[in-house]
A and B are shown apart, each in its own frame.
Chain A
Amino acid sequence: MKRDMHFMTKKIKFSRILIHLFLISYAITCLFPLLWMISTSLKSTSEVYTNKSLIPQSLNFENYIKAWTEGNFSIYFTNSVIYTISIVLGIVIVSTLAAYAFARLNFPFKNIIYYAFLMMMLIPIPGAFVPLYVLLVKLGIQNTRIGYILPMINSGLSVSIFILKEFFEQIPKELEESAVIDGCGKFQVYYKIMFPLALPAISTIVIFNALSAWNEYILAAVNFTDPNKMPVQQGLFIFQGQYFTRYELLMAATTITTLPIIMIYLSMQKYIVRSLTGAIKG
């Protein structure tokens, strides 16, 4: 009997090791392409074509300086920061206002409007960038910053309103009621009480919309023809020549583009996983 138990724990230990081996090998699969990107970005031009090792012979940080200056990356990077902040700010303001109303206030056609928003979340419109381009031209804002920011705010609204409405509904009503007794108007209740209470849900919205704004390419490609207004994702294309690509510069540029989102992700991953877990349970 005792020997049996011993055998069993050994067997469990063995299977634990196998599980870890498998999971670690998949973790390496996830990370290797990124490590390879960083490795290439630090190699010299000749080394890129000769050295297949993950560890560069010398650290050529000048690739980053070259990518930043020759590729005009300071412009693209600044643009992306401007767009991401404006888009996220817009989404937070517009979606908290609407979600609060959908959760707590009464007005005509409330349910119809809410379900219209939900429908847009469930039914994708493939190729929506074509009519959007036509619209932007018609409004005279194609190839302008605002012509990019406004439709991008819209693209984040449905999901954000949905998440926030669910959150607002869980906040106890007593808090608002006592504020109303104290003489607070609706807008005061919204920004003095509901907005601060919703900060956990708002942070989720900020992270997800910031990631998708930073990573967006198609609408930018459709909207911008002026290189001075393009975001980073568009900027990456200038490193690709028709016959020849400077991979050490391209990989330096993709690293510059990726680093901010990896940092945001690692510092905020608690919120990301929590909200994704909530999404499937709901």
Chain B
Amino acid sequence: MRKFIDKIENFIFVIPALAFFITFSIYPLFKTFQMSFYQWDGITKNMIFVGFKNYIDAFKDPIWLKSIKNGFILSFLALIFMNSIAFLLAILVNSGIKGAKFYRVIFYIPPILSGIVVGYIWKWIYDPNFGILNGLLDILNLSHFKRPWLSDVNTALISVSIASMWQGVGGSFILFLAGLQSIPEDLFEASRVDGATFWQQFFYITIPLMSRTLMIVSILTILGAMQLLTIVIPLTNGGPGFETEVPALRIYKEAFSSYKFGYATALSVLLGIMLFIISLIQIKLRKVD
């Protein structure tokens, strides 16, 4: 009996967390699945069951498909460019040079900023008439490259991608740096004694021992890029046309601009399943490792 009371007492410690969790995580999760089978404007009591119609519509919705494609393009660019720069910076900062701490502090500044602030700063940089980017091209006598970066169909998505990568490099950098620091120093020393060159060390020690970190960073990069949202709102809000629409922005607009709550939650479920599969791959690869 004493033991039973004891366990109940212990349970009290998790009750607040559990209450939050059930109300604001579990309930919305189930609500998302439920709502996705209805046609509903989010306001009236008038909910119509429509079965899988929202899901079928999603596969025929060119704007949704475009946003998914954009998500993949943003992921791809971030994987290649952002993570290469981050990896290079991490290796250089970890090479035993002076001022490593200074660089580490500076490189992690963009990730702590808000998406809205970063979006507005870059919107001003890209401004077609008075922005510093076009201004710089004028000064460099490259005026023919000038363009309205965010409203030109050919450059809008790339411009959004650059702004978001500028913010994201620091995050990957810190994770790479932590991974590099966890490699035992004697491995490099032993190989140096054996006469290994820098590149041999890089390919036979650094890369294999970093495989787990590389994997984690890649997955986080994809999850981040596929769910990009806040920075896009001040930059382009999905425009020009639907050139820079991203999945999360579609969900937001379908719910709060078009009042199609059922359809928006169906999109959530579809994107969630995609991201879940990516997370599963991560866990699988971790286990293999």
Chain A residues with CB under 8 Å of chain B are 16, 19-20, 22-23, 26-27, 29-31, 33-34, 36-37, 40, 48-49, 52, 93-95, 97-98, 100-102, 105-108, 113, 116-117, 120, 122-135, 150-151, 153-155, 157, 161, 186, 190, 211, 214-218, 222, 233, 236-237, 240, 247, 250-251, 254, 257-258, 261-262, 265-266, 269, 272-273, 276-277, 279-281
Contact = CB atoms under 8 A, between A and B. Distances in A.
Contacts of A214: 114
Given A97-B17, A215-B113, A123 B28 contact: no
Nearest to A105: B10
29 contacts: A20-B97, A30-B110, A33-B125, A37-B124, A52-B136, A94-B17, A94-B20, A100-B13, A126-B248, A126-B275, A127-B248, A128-B268, A131-B29, A131-B265, A133-B256, A157-B17, A215-B116, A215-B117, A217-B115, A233-B114, A236-B116, A258-B117, A261-B113, A269-B105, A276-B174, A277-B174, A277-B181, A280-B216, A281-B178
Contacts of A186: 9-10, 13
Interface stretch (B52-60, B87-95, B141-149): B87-95
B92 A19 contact: yes
A38 B261 CA distance: 41
Interface string B242-265: 000001100110011000010011
Contact of A123 (B7, B117, B261, B279): B279
Interface string B220-236: 00010011011001100
Q: A49, A105, A124, A127: which has the most chain B beta carbons within 10 Å?
A: A127
Contacts of A216: 114
Contacts of B109: 30-31, 34, 262, 265
A88 to B, nearest CB: 14
Given A254-B120, A262-B109, A265-B112, A52 B139 contact: yes
B223 A134 contact: no
A125 B178 contact: no
Interface string B148-185: 00000000000000000010001000110111011000
A52 B120 contact: no
B135 A280 contact: no
A240 B119 CA distance: 12
A102 B14 contact: yes
Interface in B56-84: none
Q: Which of B6, B121, B127, B175 has its CB near the most chain A CB atoms (within 10 A)? A: B121
Contacts of B9: 186
A126 B42 contact: no
B103 interface: yes
A144 to B, nearest CB: 15
Contact of B106 (A30, A123, A125): A30
Contacts of B233: 217
A153 B25 CA distance: 11
A85 B110 CA distance: 23
Nearest to B267: A127
B19 to A, nearest CB: 9
Contacts of B122: 33
Given A124-B272, A130-B264, A154-B24, 15 more contacts: A19-B95, A22-B92, A36-B125, A94-B17, A94-B20, A106-B10, A108-B7, A123-B275, A124-B275, A129-B252, A134-B261, A150-B24, A217-B230, A250-B124, A277-B174
A133 B20 CA distance: 15
Contacts of B267: 127
B107 A254 contact: no
A100 B13 CA distance: 8
A73 B227 CA distance: 29
B132 interface: yes
Contacts of A233: 114, 116-117
Size bracket, chain B contacts? 35 or more
A236 B123 CA distance: 13
Interface of B: 6-11, 13-14, 16-18, 20-21, 23-25, 27-29, 31-32, 35, 42, 85, 89, 92-93, 95, 97, 99, 103-110, 112-118, 120-122, 124-125, 127, 129-130, 132, 135-136, 139, 166, 170, 174-175, 177-179, 181-182, 213, 216, 223, 226-227, 229-230, 233-234, 247-248, 251-252, 255-256, 261, 264-265, 267-268, 271-272, 275-276, 279, 283
Contacts of A94: 16-17, 20
A134 B121 contact: no
Contacts of B272: 123-127
Contacts of B116: 215, 217, 233, 236-237
A233 B23 CA distance: 26
B195 to A, nearest CB: 15
A131 B16 contact: no
Contacts of A281: 178, 182
B14 A130 contact: no
A126 to B, nearest CB: 4
Contacts of A108: 7, 11
A127 to B, nearest CB: 4
B139 to A, nearest CB: 7
A215 B47 CA distance: 35
* Nearest 7 interchain pairs by C-beta: A101-B13, A215-B114, A127-B268, A98-B17, A131-B28, A127-B251, A154-B24
